[in-house]
Amino acid sequence: MCGICGIRRFDNSLPDERLLTAMNAALYHRGPDGAGAHIAPGIGLAMCRLSIVDLTTGDQPIYNEDRSVVIVFNGEIYNHVEIREQLISKGHFYRTRSDTESILHAYDQYGLAAADHLRGMFAFAVWDSATEILYLARDRLGEKPLYYAELPNELIFASEIKALLHHPGLTPEVDEAALDLYLTLNYVPAPHTMFKGIRKLPAGHRLVVRGREVCLEPYWDVTIESAATLPDEGEAAAELRRRFTLAVEERLMADVPLGAYLSGGVDSTLVVGLMSRAMDRPVDTYSVGFDESASGTAKFNTDAQFAILASRAFKTNHRPIILSRADRIAELIPSIITQMDEPLANPNALATYLVARQARADGLKVLLTGDGGDELFAGYERYALDLRVSQYQKLPQALRRVVLSPLLRLAGGGAGKLADKANLESPIDRYLSWHTIFAQTKKKQLLTRPLNSNWIEVSSATIGPYMLRGHSTVFQDRLMTTDLKLWLPEESNMRVDKAAMLASIETRAPYLSHPVVEFVAKLPFDLKLRNGMSKYLLKRAFADLLPSAIARRPKMGFASPASKWLRRELRPLAEKMLSSAALAESGYFRTEVVADLLGSHIHNRAYHLNQLWSLLTFQIWFFHYIARKEIL
Cα dihedral 504, 350, 483, 372, rounded to 10, equals 60
CA nearest 347: which of 582, 563, 632?
A: 563
Tell me what pLDDT residue 401 has. 60
CB atoms within 10 A of CB 441: 8
Q: Name the CA radius of gyration of the chain, rounded.
A: 24
Cα 172 to chain centroid, rounded: 23
Helix (H, G, I), strand (E, B) or coil at 192: coil
How far apart CA 4 and CA 27 sit, in angstroms, is 8
Task: Flag whether pLDDT at 446 surpasses 90.
Answer: yes
Kindly state the average pLDDT of the residues 607-613: 97
Over the stretch 130-151, which tens digit does the pLDDT of each residue have?
999 999 999 999 999 999 999 9
Tell me what pLDDT residue 414 has. 65
Over the stretch 530-565, which tens digit does the pLDDT of each residue have?
998 999 999 999 999 999 999 988 766 556 789 999
Do residues 489 and 602 share a domain? no
Do residues 592 and 543 share a domain? no
Please, which residues have CB within 8 angstroms of residue 367's CB and are 6 or more apart in sequence?
258, 259, 260, 261, 286, 355, 356, 359, 500, 505, 506, 507, 508
Domain holding 505: CATH number?
Answer: 3.40.50.620
Do residues 7 and 156 share a domain? yes
- In the chain, what percentage of residues exceed pLDDT 90? 81
Task: Flag whether pLDDT at 297 surpasses 50.
Answer: no
Tell me what pLDDT residue 470 has. 86
Tell me what pLDDT residue 323 has. 80
Decide if 360 is inside a domain. Answer: yes
Over the stretch 87-108, which tens digit does the pLDDT of each residue have?
999 999 999 989 999 999 999 9
Measured in residues, the chain has a length of 632
Do residues 227 and 214 share a domain? no
Three-state SS string over 14-59 comes to: CCCHHHHHHHHHCCHHHCECEEEEEEECCEEEEEEECCCCCCCCCC
Helix (H, G, I), strand (E, B) or coil at 69: strand
Over the stretch 208-241, which tens digit does the pLDDT of each residue have?
999 999 999 999 999 999 987 878 999 999 999 9
Over the stretch 333-352, which tens digit does the pLDDT of each residue have?
999 999 999 999 999 999 99
Decide if 89 is inside a domain. Answer: yes
Do residues 196 and 235 share a domain? no
Position with higher pLDDT, 300 vs 462: 462
Of 26-35, 306-315, 357-366, 417-426, give the lowest mean pLDDT range: 417-426
How far CA 413 is from CA of 178, 420, 546, in Å, comes to 31, 11, 35
Residue 296 backbone zone (phi > 0: left; psi -120 to 50: alpha; other: beta):
left
Give the single-character DSSP code of 212: T
Phi, psi (rounded to 5 degrees) for 35: -150, 160
Over the stretch 348-395, which tens digit does the pLDDT of each residue have?
999 999 999 999 999 999 999 999 999 999 999 999 999 988 987 887
Confidence tier at 423 by pLDDT (50, 70, 90): confident
Average pLDDT in the chain:
92
Confidence tier at 296 by pLDDT (50, 70, 90): very low
How far apart CA 54 and CA 60 sit, in angstroms, is 11
CA nearest 78: which of 278, 283, 249?
A: 249
Of the residues 176, 201, 218, the one at which a domain ends: 218
Structural domain for 16, as ranges: 2-218
How far apart CA 627 and CA 623 sit, in angstroms, is 5
Tell me what pLDDT residue 418 has. 76
- In the chain, what percentage of residues exceed pLDDT 70? 93
Do residues 498 and 551 share a domain? yes
- Contact between residue 61 and residue 36 where contact means Cβ atoms under 8 Å apart: yes
How far CA 284 is from CA of 273, 275, 593, in Å, comes to 12, 10, 47
Task: Flag whether pLDDT at 461 surpasses 80.
Answer: yes
Do residues 469 and 585 share a domain? no
Tell me what pLDDT residue 56 has. 64
Of the residues 157, 183, 218, the one at which a domain ends: 218
- Contact between residue 432 and residue 483 where contact means Cβ atoms under 8 Å apart: no
Task: Flag whether pLDDT at 456 surpasses 70.
Answer: yes
Do residues 101 and 37 share a domain? yes
Decide if 298 is inside a domain. Answer: yes
Total of domains in the chain: 3
Tell me what pLDDT residue 248 has. 98
Task: Flag whether pLDDT at 570 surpasses 70.
Answer: yes
Helix (H, G, I), strand (E, B) or coil at 245: helix
Over the stretch 258-294, which tens digit does the pLDDT of each residue have?
999 999 999 999 999 999 999 999 999 999 887 755 4
Residue 161: its H or E element: helix 161-164
Do residues 550 and 566 share a domain? no
Do residues 163 and 277 share a domain? no
Strands (E) across 233-308 are located at 258-261, 284-291
Domain holding 203: CATH number?
Answer: 3.60.20.10
How far apart CA 61 and CA 45 sit, in angstroms, is 8
Tell me what pLDDT residue 305 has. 82
- Contact between residue 5 and residue 477 where contact means Cβ atoms under 8 Å apart: no
Tell me what pLDDT residue 295 has. 43
Of 34-38, 166-170, 395-399, 421-425, give the lowest mean pLDDT range: 395-399
CB atoms within 10 A of CB 291: 19
Please, which residues have CB within 8 angstroms of residue 355's CB and are 6 or more apart in sequence?
261, 286, 287, 288, 321, 367, 500
Tell me what pLDDT residue 409 has. 59
Strand 205-210 with 506-508, pairing = unpaired
Complete DSSP assignment for 103-138: HHHHHHHHGGGGGGG--EEEEEEEEETTTTEEEEEE
Confidence tier at 199 by pLDDT (50, 70, 90): very high
Decide if 160 is inside a domain. Answer: yes
Confidence tier at 521 by pLDDT (50, 70, 90): very high
Tell me what pLDDT residue 49 has. 84
Do residues 152 and 189 share a domain? yes
Over the stretch 507-519, which tens digit does the pLDDT of each residue have?
999 999 999 999 9
How far apart CA 286 and CA 352 sit, in angstroms, is 10
Over the stretch 44-92, which tens digit does the pLDDT of each residue have?
999 998 777 766 666 889 999 999 999 999 999 999 999 999 999 999 9
Decide if 632 is inside a domain. Answer: no
Over the stretch 465-477, which tens digit does the pLDDT of each residue have?
999 988 899 999 9
Of the residues 498, 526, 557, the one at which a domain ends: 557
Strand 154-158 with 258-261, pairing = unpaired
Decide if 631 is inside a domain. Answer: no
CA nearest 150: which of 8, 342, 3, 341?
A: 8
Cα 48 to chain centroid, rounded: 21
Do residues 206 and 228 share a domain? no
- Contact between residue 54 and residue 15 where contact means Cβ atoms under 8 Å apart: no
Strands (E) across 78-222 are located at 120-128, 133-138, 147-151, 154-158, 199-200, 205-210, 213-218
Decide if 171 is inside a domain. Answer: yes
Confidence tier at 421 by pLDDT (50, 70, 90): confident
Kindly state the average pLDDT of the residues 238-257: 95
pTM for this one?
0.94
How far apart CA 558 and CA 500 sit, in angstroms, is 17
Neighbouring-strand partners of residue 258 = 366
Decide if 384 is inside a domain. Answer: yes
